[in-house]
Chain A
């Protein structure tokens, strides 16, 4: 069975292995170094335990575990406040109308404004999964488990939720948007900048970007084409998030111009359709396939199970699901249909 649970210090090696399998990704918030990742996991543990330091905002990290083997096959996170205390940078796509009364012409001029308007919105981040699981139930479980967590801990999160989607990158690792813009100000390729970003912070790098707006028309043709476009391999993620109710807005990533998807937290499909009930066992494997989650703090679990519901608000799940969730009969659970 597939199960999503909070990341633990023991998961360090597995998560590093997953992260290492991905290409350079400047916008990823997943550290690649032992100490940085260990610190990040510690931070997540504190967040789940509700002992986040004053002045810090909770950052949650979940892993996807195969309960049969105990192997960790994916990782995903929620930052309750994007930027977590630092500015969260994006470019906002905007337009100026350059019109001349004298010449009778009117022209739309596309401009990218550096913005940190999305700072402090809830951010879904760090989604990384074993490529073999792309598009499977496990994939959907890992992504949506976060929405289940938000639904059951709504007070920890803001009214708007955003997700950054990786932008266009060629097979040889070149990022057209970076090459046309960011590169000039760093004199380094995307991969090198990515390493710095991992070692320091994305904000650190973003603050070295030019502070003035950028005219889109002066970008290379490839960079203009890449503007707001998602990387081909993110398509399953993109589509899943669209089904959830996320939409690409006016914001793009400052390095690769990938789209930032936005949604009102309370309008997300998983959150709208989720309901609470009490857990009961069932011998039957019949029922509608649903996401089900329960447990508090580090015992939070989310899994997929066929569920039968009674009129009394009882949620009947097969025994093995019950075991997987680590709950007892009568405990409250949250359910959302697939």
Chain B
């Protein structure tokens, strides 16, 4: 009996210590830091409520969200003139099956130092980043005159419609690209557009996603095809005062995309695609296909998921326009195996279509790449 009571007491202590509104709150109102101007403002959202496990080629196991978190923290520590918010969206868990635990954690770095670290509750029904925005407004500095503004999102493909089930631990919560855009709008409401948005997700290089984010950024990096869970390499972010010294964000985005592409193609056998979208220059193409895309999606949206598939927009005549490559820099390498291994180019735009039977004889005449 004594043993049981001791276990219960221990469990209760653990529960109480983990359920406070914040733990290890290190928010230091160090005014001295405000003397350093914030030249780079970064918001980083890392989704970790799903299947994010992957293995490297040596068989080592990694959790993509935890890897992304540690990289983001390294970036934060190595940028003395930056303000960085890292929001880690975690699975909803319960202590002893009944007591809910926080499903979000924020890390706020300023001038290379961790200024705040809190647990928080995420939106419960529709994920529109309201709690994240509240934390952002609470901690951000006003000392960011003409700061370069960057937004990073790590996660699985963000759905264009529906969105239920994006969070594995909370399948009723919905999250779509409209919600993402709504959230980003909130982060930009008092300021100018973001200079760069990086979507480290699969299949979000679509006309719809890029179009809906267009009002809030000048440049986007996204993947129109599958993206391995090791995500885009962000080494260039580690010393922004050096890599972005000239303030030329579009050129920086291209260097970043090329570096990410080179790193991914080294280890990854599936398709690799990294695309830089110049928002002012892609607008013509987006406007020209907007109604076609929306109508097509309305039809496909009613079909079972196994009946529709992703495809390069260039393979569908109704999306092909002479100016579709305007404003897109595409870094693409096909999968080394599988049906698509001979697809040598990608337009940089991903669309949807009804699933087609696979051509069984399409590869017999092709040479095997070594």
Do A and B belong to a common assembly? no
Give residues in B with beta carbon < 8 Å to A: none
